Amino acid sequence: MDRRVFAALALLACTTVAGCGGAANSSTQLVKPPDVVLYARPVTRSVTDHEEFPGRTEAIMSVQVTSRVSGYLNQVYFQDGQQVEKGAVLFQIDPRPFQADLDRAKAANLQAEAHAKRLNNEFQRAKVLYDRGMSISREEYDRYSFDNAEAAASVGTAKANFDLADLNLEFTRVVAPIGGRLGRRLVDPGNLVKADDTPLVTIVSQDPIYVYFDVHEQAMLKIRRMINEGRVKAKSEHEVPIELCLSDERDFQHRGMVDFTDNRVDLSTGTLRFRARLDNPKGMFTPGLFVRVKLPIGDPHPALMVREEAVTSDQGQKKVFVVRRSLKDGQPAFFEDKTGKPILDRDGKPIPKFAHTTVNVGTLGVLIDGFREVSEGVKPDDLVVVSGLQKLRKDAPVTAREFNSDSDALPEAKTAASGTPRATVGQPSQPPKDGRADTPAADLKSPDSNAPRAASTPSPSEAGGAAGDRERRSQAH
């Protein structure tokens, strides 16, 4: 068969198929779904101005235990990390040399007491003879007197040596000077321990506990002024209550009280060191932990608050987007297709059209449970956009629905994952799993199901161009 005849037949077949396809799809058309944003109304709450500061926990008492006598370590009476009470025995140093010293001091003390007793008796007899003027000179009387005094002093020395030996023997039992939690032992039995030099173990108190944090001078001055004005029920900043949370907590559920402030501001940082004291009965806090401290610096007052996700920053100014219903001839407007008919959702309802504006919210206040205090711009009935901010473009309408904190926990992630599909007019759609009317493209319908699908029908030039390509390829073969 001639190649030209074959090419013509192929072109005719392709044109026929394209025409059939266009006829089959003429009953449908693609409608781009409107962008959906989520809004939430502001809430009014009673809040207290505060500031947050980073802090560190510290033990009220911390002791590095050392021995007060030198000797070889015999026994250890605790487990590493154990909780102990004050006075509990921790270590035992070999007591035998100290027991020997005690026995020797005891014997020396008895000897001194006996010697002193004998000299005292001699002195008493000499005194009687001297007082009666009998055969004893003044020189001899003085010798008896001073010998008796020296003997009495020797008794004192011997008694002190005995007490020291007894104390050293007692020091062979190393006890806990405070109650708290022990660290690991630093010396094993059998090693030589030097008095006041060899560290044995560290012990820190657990309950209560201190929290140290640095407050900038503006907050510190504001607190003092409020105290002086009587707006805070405290005699000084030493009695200001605080709230704090650990690094893995979001809520400030722990309470404490400031009990100390430093006597000068740090010149290098411009901050004043604060210290708070809080109870730790369950041992949740350990010395050295990082915490966040909430320090109140104002009175409770009503405040208008928006969700934190709604706040954006534009050239240093904090703003939010507010949507409102678009109007057409004084009536609420709806999205329409090219023929001017309203686009319907899967429930057969017209999709409302919203316009948006930006509102400057001024200085931001406190953050509570995901809501941020705003000082201006927003009204209680405003519809503040909290999700889909990237879909808002100048003069481009959107549709909107109210934000649901339970089902819309990650609205941005859902949108990014699903993409933006297109809707086919007249095609049956699968109902969404959550049953919402804003499930996007597949649920949008147009009342005109016979509208031509111009976007999907190839033009004659396109069909001819494709056939020409096939003809050229066949001629090349």
76-98 per-position pLDDT tens digit: 999 999 999 999 999 999 999 99
Indicate the SS3 state at residue 209: strand
Residue 64 vs residues 86, 169, 209, 403, 427: alpha-carbon distances, Å: 14, 21, 18, 57, 80
Mean pLDDT computed over every residue of the chain:
77
Highest-confidence segment of 4-8, 337-341, 348-352:
348-352
Sorting pLDDT into bands at 50, 70 and 90, what band is 237?
low
Secondary structure element (H or E) that encloses residue 45, with its range = strand 43-59
- The whole-number pLDDT of residue 438 equals 42
Question: How does pLDDT run across 293-309, given as a tens digit for each residue?
Answer: 988 776 777 888 888 88
Describe the chain by its helix, strand, coil percentages, rounded to 5. 30, 30, 40
279-283 long-range contacts, CB within 8 A, separation 24+: 279/207, 279/208, 280/206, 280/207, 280/208, 280/209, 281/207, 283/206, 283/207
For the four alpha carbons of 258, 260, 264 and 267, in that order, the dihedral sign comes to negative
Query: pLDDT grade, residue 238 (50/70/90)?
Result: low
Lowest-confidence segment of 60-74, 160-174, 376-390 by average pLDDT: 376-390
Residue 25 binned pLDDT confidence (cut-offs 50, 70, 90): very low
In angstroms, the CA 109 to CA 101 distance is 12
Distance CA 25, CA 255 (A): 69
What whole-number distance in Å separates Cα of residue 167 and Cα of residue 87? 16
Tell me: pLDDT of 463 over 70.
no
Q: What is the pTM of this model?
A: 0.56
Query: Which DSSP symbol is given to 421?
Result: P
Predicted local confidence at residue 350, as pLDDT: 87
pLDDT tens-digit readout, 309-323: 888 888 888 888 998
| Whole-angstrom distance, CA of residue 309 vs CA of residue 318 | 12
- Cα–Cα distance for residue pair 444/30, rounded to 1 Å: 10
Quickly state the pLDDT bin for 165 (edges 50, 70, 90).
Answer: very high
pLDDT at residue 209 tops 50: yes
Query: How far apart, in whole angstroms, are the C-alpha atoms of residue 26 and residue 394?
Result: 34
Is the backbone peptide bond immediately before 431 cis, with ω within 30 degrees of 0?
A: no
Most confident of 34-48, 161-175, 238-252, 332-346: 161-175
